[in-house]
Homo-oligomer: A and B are copies of this chain.
Amino acid sequence: MELLRVTYRLDGDPSAAAARADAIALEQTVEVPRAVAMRDAFIANEIVGRVESIDATADGARLATIAYPVAATALDPAQLLGVLFGNSSLHADVSCVDFDPPPSLCKALRGPRFGIAGLRALTDVRERALTCTAVKPLGHSPGALADLLRTFARAGIDVVKDDQGLADHAFCPFEARVAACLAAAEQVAEETGHRALYVPNLIGTPERVFAQLRFAEDHGARAVMVSPMLLGLPTFWELCHRHASVPVLAHPCLGGAVRYAPELLFGKLLRLYGADAVIFVGYAGRFGTPRETCAAIASNLRRRWGGLAPSLPIAGGGVALENAAEAVSFYGRDAVLLVGRSLQMDPDRLVERSRALVDTVRDASAVLPGER
């Protein structure tokens, strides 16, 4: 029987940790008292979770690892979330910090379709870390956003994404914005030979998001971005595996509102569901993610895991031009530096700062150790 192992952090009384872990094993599967569950051999053996280990953390909490029969998930993207952390999320002293999906679950959910290799091929960047910025702020017209995109593309930036706040606004409709930005990228490609990868943001209910995807693909978009925690992970999965024929980037919006460990949510869950690239908020910016968490996210996205393609880490959240070189040495080549507001800090030096980012990342990549 294949098992799904999930690790929870228990912040309550350590002497109650064993009982608490056992309660979670029941809550996440049968949600009845153990005595009731044990009356049925099938339920007792093939449904109920089992506590495998309880260890102390350095700060005195407990880490409980529970093994669930994978059958409880029905191999479904929504049900998996319920088994991982559904009802137990309602206990304030429990966090979900890690999970280890068995082969059948990886095969069912599939993970990235393009991943690092696909995005490198699309951007034609084989040997170095990639650069990324965003067209924003919300409130600009499609024409103004397309002008910004032209500036970034002429500077040589690899990936120019929409801000995640760009929806289908009356003052900047989705279709007009995407058409204008795609045309701008194409225009710069004809002028300079550098075709920046413009990544439109899709947002809305499933019907609208799938229609936006069709529009974007029909008009030549070569990648798209969504915020999976706004849409819901099951919708995200369906977008990746039932609708999209281009790579999908995941934005972390609303992702801090969950009591999942960041290295689980951004490093594993989004990769398992199909993100070809995952934006997360890095250590150098305004969100203050610890360096070791950033390293764990990047490592989880790229390492061999479940037979899934690696996903491209995109470090954002306030990475500045001034620490771009250090960030390249931290994250390495298979990473994207997403530098947004730092480029727009001084609108009169937008061109200069954009070019400086491109040069910095190229130079910092060149001195990295390793094989390429």
Contacts and interface: CB of A to CB of B under 8 A. Distances in A.
A247 interface: no
Interface stretch (A111-119, A190-198, A235-243, A305-313): A235-243
A257 B260 contact: yes
Interface stretch (A29-37, A352-360, A361-369): A29-37
A165 interface: yes
Given A82-B254, A230-B78, A39 B204 contact: no
A139 B42 contact: yes
A151 B40 CA distance: 18
Interface stretch (A53-61, A84-92, A179-187): A84-92
State how many copies of this chain the complex holds: 2
A296 B40 CA distance: 40
A125 interface: no
A246 interface: no
A336 to B, nearest CB: 18
A152 to B, nearest CB: 14
> Which residue, A72, A87, A203, A287, has most C-beta atoms of chain B within 10 A?
A87
A109 to B, nearest CB: 11
A220 interface: no
Contact of A30 (B47, B136, B260): B136
Interface string A329-369: 00000000000110011010000000000000000000000
Contact of A76 (B136, B167, B206, B347): B167
A236 B30 CA distance: 25
A79 B255 CA distance: 14
A107 to B, nearest CB: 15
Given A86-B164, A167-B79, A72 B235 contact: no
A171 B42 contact: yes
Contacts of A258: 257-259
A341 B204 contact: no
Contacts of A234: 204-206, 209, 230-232, 235
Interface in A33-87: 33, 36-37, 39-40, 42-43, 46-48, 71-74, 76-79, 81-83, 85-87
Nearest to A341: B32
Interface string A132-164: 000011111000000000000000000000011
A286 B73 CA distance: 24
A14 interface: no
A189 interface: no
A256 interface: yes
A269 B292 CA distance: 35
A100 interface: no
6 contacts: A29-B165, A32-B340, A37-B139, A85-B257, A89-B256, A232-B232
Interface of A: 23, 28-33, 36-37, 39-40, 42-43, 46-48, 71-74, 76-79, 81-83, 85-92, 96, 136-140, 163-165, 167-171, 203-209, 227, 230-238, 242, 252-260, 281, 286-287, 317, 340-341, 344-345, 347
Given A77-B204, A78-B227, 13 more contacts: A29-B139, A30-B137, A72-B138, A76-B208, A78-B231, A79-B203, A79-B204, A82-B253, A89-B254, A90-B256, A205-B234, A206-B238, A258-B259
